[in-house]
A = this chain, B = another copy of it.
């Protein structure tokens, strides 16, 4: 398994262990992790800290050229908010763990020239399946449903 994707999965597991939503993400530039994060809705009472947003926030302020040469790893297909953020910063490539439990704005990303790779990873899917079964209301809240 790709070491960066593995780190995103570790972040997702960390979120799950904290009683949160098990989605993790890592921003990588020049083969180096700039920031990692996981969904913080429960932990920080946040409505914007999805895994991808947390990873970007933890990466801190960066010049445009850094984002434009980075890859974002995320365990779940990115929602409209996270996809919009990927477009705002011009991140050219997104590696997604799975899109079976939730399908985000992959079409919007592709239509805007972003390379989207879906791994269909079994572990990511199981994490989300378990979580959604255990806390369906929390999950619905996180996706605005």
Which residue numbers of A lie inside 8 Å of B, CB to CB?
A: 41, 45-48, 53, 56-57, 59-64, 67, 79-85, 87-90, 105, 108, 140-141, 143-145
Residues of B contacting A57 with CB < 8 Å? 46-48
Apart from A48-B53, A80-B88, A108-B108, 10 more pairs, CB < 8 Å: A45-B61, A47-B89, A48-B56, A48-B85, A79-B84, A81-B87, A81-B88, A84-B87, A84-B105, A89-B144
Max count, chain B CB within 10 A of own CB: residue among A60, A63, A84: A84
- Evaluate contact between B141 and A64: CB separation under 8 angstroms: yes
- Evaluate contact between B61 and A145: CB separation under 8 angstroms: no
- Evaluate contact between A85 and B81: CB separation under 8 angstroms: yes
Do A47 and B61 contact each other (CB < 8 Å), given the known contacts A80-B87, A84-B85, A90-B144?
yes
Residues of B contacting A81 with CB < 8 Å? 81, 84-85, 87-88
- Give the residue name and chain of the B residue nearest to A89 (CB): B144
- Give the residue name and chain of the B residue nearest to A144 (CB): B89
Max count, chain B CB within 10 A of own CB: residue among A48, A67, A105, A108: A48
Q: How far is the CB of A114 from chain B (nearest CB, A)?
A: 11
